[in-house]
A and B are shown apart, each in its own frame.
Chain A
Amino acid sequence: MLQSLFKNVWVPMKPYYTQVYQEIWVGMELMGFIVYKIGNDYKRNKALKTLSPALACGHH
């Protein structure tokens, strides 16, 4: 299966993936970074929200 994938996909598309789409790979890295930042901030805010009521209860 990998052999047919290599022959039918990678061989014809190699000039595109290696030369033409170099800038698009940079764009995809940027998008990945944005997704990571948003996901990380969401997890951090969620964790803070669950912690802060617990802290508030502890101070009573």
Chain B
Amino acid sequence: MNENLFTSFTTPTMMGLPIVVLIIMFPSILFPSPSRLINNRLVSLQQWLVQLTSKQMLAIHSHKGQTWALMLMSLILFIGSTNLLGLLPHSFTPTTQLSMNLGMAIPLWAGTVVTGFRYKTKASLAHFLPQGTPIPLIPMLVIIETISLFIQPVALAVRLTANITAGHLFMHLIGGAALALTNISASIALITFIILILLTILEFTVALIQAYVFTLLVSLYLHDNT
């Protein structure tokens, strides 16, 4: 049992050395590269999943946007696998760290914005003012649109961090409560345990959904700018 609720979120060390980089690189081992024309079942299943996701995600993009296919697919696979691996007991989830999520969100968002200003400068500047705005409201709306633009990477990162951290904390709390209640009342402990199982199922879906939402939003920002 951890000393307090937040020890599972501290960056892990082994014999004094930080191993967080190894933990971040670990999910890549779980995705074998296809090396033959017709692969084994696992690799074929992986290829089918990646093809399904990439077709759905890249259907809306222009030719320029589709050059980001590798980046978007890597992003969804990385975040999804990292979140799912974090549901193993006593494991460390890199996506609970705001620094890591900002490290993913800021370069990708800035990449989309710079792409927009580079290839479609007028259209990118036009995004700061919605169509049909009354003239007296223009200055205020430009300020609001600028703020909403700069909030996008922060929102991306904080959304992922908060969802995953809150889920893990909640599971920790409910698990602790179920354990404490076994000595007090078996029936209430059983109800708490059922709640814990339902919460775990919810966390599996949240892990996948948050990966999809992060990637979809980056894809939408790219679509707006290409």
Contact with B along A17-58 (1 / 0, CB 8 A): 000110110111011001000000000000000000000000
CB of B5 within 8 A of chain A? no
- B97 shortest CB reach to chain A, Å: 13
CB of B110 within 8 A of chain A? yes
For A27, give its contact among B68, B70, B106 (CB under 8 Å). B106
Contact B108 A27 (CB under 8 A): yes
- B18 shortest CB reach to chain A, Å: 16
Chain A residues with Cβ below 8 Å from B115 are 23
Chain A residues with Cβ below 8 Å from B71 are 20-21, 24
Contact with A along B83-107 (1 / 0, CB 8 A): 0000000000000000000110011
Chain A residues with Cβ below 8 Å from B67 are 20
CB of B127 within 8 A of chain A? no
Contact A30 B106 (CB under 8 A): yes
Chain B residues with Cβ below 8 Å from A34 are 106
| A contacts with B: majority SS | helix
CB of B118 within 8 A of chain A? yes
- A24 shortest CB reach to chain B, Å: 4
Contact B106 A24 (CB under 8 A): no
Interface residues on A, range: 10 to 19
For B112, give its contact among A16, A20, A23, A31 (CB under 8 Å). A23
Contact A30 B70 (CB under 8 A): no
In this complex, what residue of A is CB-closest to B109?
Answer: A27
Chain A residues with Cβ below 8 Å from B103 are 31
Contact B111 A21 (CB under 8 A): yes
CB of B114 within 8 A of chain A? yes
Chain B residues with Cβ below 8 Å from A20 are 67-68, 71
In this complex, what residue of A is CB-closest to B119?
Answer: A23
Contact A23 B70 (CB under 8 A): no
A-B contact pairs, 27 of them (CB 8 A): A16-B70, A20-B67, A20-B68, A20-B71, A21-B71, A23-B110, A23-B111, A23-B112, A23-B118, A24-B71, A24-B107, A24-B108, A24-B111, A26-B111, A27-B107, A27-B108, A27-B109, A27-B110, A27-B111, A27-B114, A28-B107, A30-B106, A30-B110, A31-B102, A31-B107, A31-B110, A34-B106
Q: A residues within 8 Å of B by Cβ?
A: 16, 20-21, 23-24, 26-28, 30-31, 34
Nearest 3 A/B pairs, CB to CB? A27-B110, A27-B107, A24-B111
Q: B residues within 8 Å of A by Cβ?
A: 67-68, 70-71, 102-103, 106-112, 114-115, 118
